[in-house]
Structure 1
Amino acid sequence: MSATGRARPVASVDGTRVANYAQWESVQAFQEMLADPACQEHMSAAREIADAEPFLYDVASVHHS
């Protein structure tokens, strides 16, 4: 299981939300991460203090400056 690059946590300006952004090599790699017992343990601990919604998105557009 492997993400490309590193995770990029970002916080909302008002400080009420945090999102963690990571790019995965494939849908299968993302699904394997969610099924991994170590991940499930981590997510369980995180849910004790916050709501968490792992979700997969497609890249819609890439812009370069």
Structure 2
Amino acid sequence: MPVLVLHGDDDQIVPYRTTAVKAAELLKNGKLIIYPGFSHGMPTVNAEVINEDILSFINA
């Protein structure tokens, strides 16, 4: 089953290098998208961008 991992590279709470990158490596069918400049609040602050990527992933 494909799994989408989304993370902002400016997340000061959960650093993407030690979390999202590792998670995508451990997943057999993981797809990682790193958003430049997005923070920990990206699901609400940048919802329009993230929602497009989620819908594209689902429809692929």
**TM-score w.r.t. length of structure 2:** 0.37
**Larger relative contact order (Cα-Cα within 8 Å, sequence gap ≥ 6):** 2
When Rg is computed on C-alpha atoms for both structures, the one with the higher figure is: 1
**TM-score w.r.t. length of structure 1:** 0.35
Which structure has the highest strand share of the two? Answer: 1
